[in-house]
Amino acid sequence: MRKIILVVVAVTVIITAFYAYKKLAFAAYDIVDVLNIVDQSVTQEELLEQLEFLASEDMGGRPTGTIETGPSEESIVVTTYLVDKLKSLPGLKPAGTDNSPLQNFQIKAMVGENYKFTPTTKEGEILSELDCPWCNRYETGAILSTADSRNVAFYIEGSELPNEYVILMAHYDHIGLGKTGRSPQHAGTVHPGAEDNASGTSALLEVAETFSDLYQSNIRPKRSIVFLFAGAEEKGLLGAVYYAHKFPLSGKVVAVISNDMVGRGLDNTSLWLTATPKGEETPERIPEIWNYIQKWSVFFNFTIESPPDEMNVFYRSDHYAFFSASPENDRIPAMLFSAKWDMDKFNAYKEESRKIRSKEKASVDPDKRFYYHTIWDTIYDEHGNLNIKLDRLERHAEFITLIAFETASGPRPDYVEQLKDLQKTKRLP
């Protein structure tokens, strides 16, 4: 009997020591080690290979299926590709429905009262009431679109606060044959969506791989990090809305970092950041995270700017679904990174496409072409030169890896306190 007790005690001591060691080994990290692994893990070759697959003619512009037709064939191929790449990475666990990497959803995008946008499940459950600055164009109750699609999600468990999550995300879908695109004369032609958002998807794959490499070197952030590849963004942020309201893991999301159109932009360095309805206030609203963003933007040679407020960027990408899903007294910081647009070129192109719509004489000469939701959103131009700046995309993937790592390891941002006066002045939804 005494022998058995001794064995039990010895085993308990060994197990306790092992877990204490494991915790210690994971808890402390040297940022130089992190940087070295980040530097080795993210490669331009892999970024390009992934881009070429996602934005290929075969992917047909990655359309989202409708409730009537079921998920599109292309979305099944793309999500299978993402799952295959991610499931073999050590340390990554599935973060979709029922312990799988997928989360299926069927949603109607409807217009609610008071210019709200109300994504509603096929069964009639209103998931969210999003502020919709452009919903005044539609009548209450109008159905804008329906979507049958899926999210892909994995996570890496945090070393100290595994039930708190930082979500790193990118939408993988695009507008298919461009019926809702900006060049009506090209409806029916594949809109490859290389920048929107094969760029963010490819970057996020590299980031997930990097966190797996860090894990294999016993380096983990304190909180867990989710890698979310969302569907149906182009139908109204629907995949993100679904994930935010039907979060499949137990615990709490504390911050969201979304990446949408991050490989092209006006130049090689300027980067838009949006995290509040009034963009230029972002730094003061997220002081803890802003510290990291400032530091690493200098290191990776990015200049952080706000998109023009009149573009309503805050309401137009997936991060807003998470902001909106968090209760007013427990808001979470939800950030969007996007390469800065050439606004002169965009406005000139917008004017030309307006003329085409109204059958006025218009010629979109090559100088006026813009890539946003057009057939010119390709990896290569007609001369075979790269449209996507691989060096920029590489730095972006490295940059957000560091931001996510530190956000997940640092103090929890007190966003409610930061937003208090914003709510008082009723500038918030």
* Nearest distance in Å: CB 186, Zn ion: 18
* Nearest distance in Å: CB 376, Zn ion: 15
Facing residues of 304 across strands? 271
Nearer to Zn ion, 372 or 416 (CB): 372
Sequence-separated (6 or more) residues with CB below 8 Å from residue 131? 115, 116, 117, 315, 324, 429
At 134 the three-state DSSP class reads coil
Residues that bind Zn ion (CB under 5 A): 196-197, 260
User: 90: which DSSP letter?
Assistant: T
Nearer to Zn ion, 157 or 260 (CB): 260
Nearer to Zn ion, 331 or 340 (CB): 340
In degrees rounded to 5, what are phi and psi of residue 160? -125, -35
Tokens for 25, please give them: 């080994």
Of the chain, the end-to-end C-alpha distance in Å amounts to 68
Q: Are 4 and 10 in contact (CB under 8 A)?
A: no
Residue 114's identity, in one-letter code, is N
Nearer to Zn ion, 117 or 415 (CB): 117
At 333 the three-state DSSP class reads coil
What does the alpha-carbon distance between residue 80 and residue 152 come to, in Å, rounded to a whole number?
A: 9
Nearer to Zn ion, 74 or 196 (CB): 196
Q: Are 271 and 297 in contact (CB under 8 A)?
A: yes
* Nearest distance in Å: CB 260, Zn ion: 4
Nearer to Zn ion, 194 or 390 (CB): 194
Nearer to Zn ion, 234 or 406 (CB): 234
Sequence-separated (6 or more) residues with CB below 8 Å from residue 69? 148
What does the alpha-carbon distance between residue 253 and residue 79 come to, in Å, rounded to a whole number?
A: 23
Q: Are 206 and 148 in contact (CB under 8 A)?
A: no
The per-residue b/e assignment along 306-335, b for 16 or more CB within 10 angstroms, e otherwise, is bbeeebbbbbbbbbbbbbbbbeeeebbbbb
What does the alpha-carbon distance between residue 317 and residue 279 come to, in Å, rounded to a whole number?
A: 14
* Nearest distance in Å: CB 290, Zn ion: 24
* Nearest distance in Å: CB 121, Zn ion: 23
* Nearest distance in Å: CB 167, Zn ion: 16
* Nearest distance in Å: CB 317, Zn ion: 6
User: 153: which DSSP letter?
Assistant: E
Nearer to Zn ion, 254 or 321 (CB): 321
* Nearest distance in Å: CB 413, Zn ion: 25
* Nearest distance in Å: CB 425, Zn ion: 30
Nearer to Zn ion, 260 or 398 (CB): 260
Nearer to Zn ion, 196 or 213 (CB): 196
* Nearest distance in Å: CB 247, Zn ion: 22
What does the alpha-carbon distance between residue 87 and residue 154 come to, in Å, rounded to a whole number?
A: 8
Closest CA to 56 of 383, 380, 300: 380
* Cα 349 from chain centre: 26
